Amino acid sequence: SVPPTTSRLEPNYPNPFNSTTQISYRLATPGPVRLDVYNILGQQVHTLVDQAQAAGFYQVPWNARDQRGATVATGVYLMRLHYPGGVQTRRLLLLK
């Protein structure tokens, strides 16, 4: 497939979500990628991706758990994508 022309963090789906949501992003250029979830206080909750990736389209599930595997509380979370040439952040809403 043809690689995307711009890198972008897409809205997660579903949002709001109950137990699992899909986080999608696209990379126009290969390189190191990091995708983290933070709580509304700015504390890191979970690192979903931390590796070099090729240009292309990606989808990563998040099961509303922290790095240790514990279920997180209902509320607003932020997903932050660091990619070659930029950073993007979007909001997620977890409802139980």
Cα of 78 vs its chain's centroid, Å: 8
Cα of 57 vs its chain's centroid, Å: 13
Q: What is the pTM of this model?
A: 0.94
Residues facing 82 on adjacent strands: 34, 87
Domains of the chain: 8-94 (2.60.40.1930)
Cα of 10 vs its chain's centroid, Å: 9
pLDDT in tens, the chain (96 residues): 678 899 999 999 999 999 999 999 999 999 999 999 999 999 999 999 999 999 999 999 999 999 999 999 999 999 999 999 999 999 999 998
